[in-house]
Structure 1
């Protein structure tokens, strides 16, 4: 792949990749780092792209997988006690400082609470919900990114909504 072609791929996908990473990482700097890792992976592996889906779908899949890998890595480190108490506090409070460009400023408090609840979902539900509600992908696009059937995506989204209702019931009862 020549440099010009790669620049075009980055230009066409950089906003989507960054916003996808931001939706998972909840931190602008980490989202930028992850987006950079995504494009490095794309560059190194473009020859493996088979064209069985759209290039953007393949890139979404890479973005999602890279973010989940990083979240799991942090979770393992946290469980293993490799982070100090201060680091744990910073990680736990990240959602409070989270700003997503798709969320109006006056809704930031509610968005923070919602994103904290989304973080508690099992990974498949979290991915499906994020791609559907935050990235606004269709069920068909999500099924390609996650490599699952449309009925599986519908099921994941249904369970995610039910779990979010349970998680958010307390919040809405107190306001």
Structure 2
């Protein structure tokens, strides 16, 4: 009932409703974006884009899912799009530097540390997030939502627009791939 009132307030463009939306969901949106992008400032930009899109497209929300599910979908789409654009720019910078147009090659940001990770686990966390980044998108999204955002398989299925069985499959393959990636990392480190 509270969610329905919030949606009605958003659709009638009430400032209080929009403020309540941001207050209620800003941590979730930021945390999800940060899990995909790994750069705090960029995740903040994505979160801002998410809330702007919600404001602009709230009339398209039909209420067939929870508002949080809709927000997760928008956040994941925006974060993955941001990441793809960034990778294209990075590849272009490398290519242009090879041809002498630009002598400066973009480098990867320093190791990412999610704010929810305890200090003593930061090194392991950085290794894990580098491995997660190598997963195919569906596996990466499912893994982050379940393991980092603590969503259920059913909730992730709704967010991803997939069946629970598909999400279980993504998770199974993600775990297998992570096991292989991390095994390779630890084998090569010794």
TM-score using structure 1 length: 0.91
Q: Deviations over 1:62-110 (max 9, x none)?
A: 0000000011112222333368675531xx244x1x2212110111111
CA separation of 1:35/1:82 partners in 2, compared to 1, >3 Å: closer, same or farther?
Answer: farther
Distance of aligned partners of 1:171 and 1:55 in 2 relative to their CA distance in 1, 3 Å threshold: same
Higher Rg of the two aligned structures: 2
Task: Give me the whole-angstrom Cα distance separating, in 2, the residues matched to 1:157 and 1:103.
Answer: 21
Please, which of 16, 19, 24 is the counterpart of residue 36 of structure 2?
24
Summarize deviations over 1:112-138 as a string: whole Å, max 9, x none: 010000001111111111111111110
Look up the match of 2:50: 38
Partner Cα distance (1:22, 1:30) in 2: 8
Which 5+ residue runs of structure 1 have no aligned equivalent?
none
Counterpart Cα distance in 2 of 1:85 and 1:71: 23
Deviation at 1:59, TM superposition (A): 0.3
In the aligned structure 2, how far is the partner of 1:32 from the partner of 1:73?
16
Give ranges in structure 2 of 5+ residues lacking alignment: 1-12
Displacement of 1:21? 0.8
> What residue in structure 1 maps to residue 175 of structure 2?
161
Query: Quick one: which of 97, 105, 123 aligns to 1:109?
Result: 123
Task: Give the equivalent residue in structure 1 for 2:84.
Answer: 72
Runs of 4+ with >4 A deviation: 82-87
Give the whole-Å Cα distance in 2 for the aligned partners of 1:87 and 1:143: 39
- Relative contact order higher in (CA < 8 Å, ≥ 6 apart): 1
Quick one: which of 119, 122, 142 aligns to 2:156? Answer: 142
Q: 2:147 — aligned with what?
A: 133
The two structures, once aligned, show a CA RMSD in angstroms of 1.6
Q: From the superposition, tell whether residues 85 and 117 of structure 1 become closer, same or farther in structure 2 (CA, over 3 Å).
A: farther
Aligned to 2:63: 51
**Structure 2 length as normaliser, TM-score?**
0.85
> How many Å apart are 1:171 and its aligned residue?
2.7
**SS, match of residue 140 in structure 2:** helix
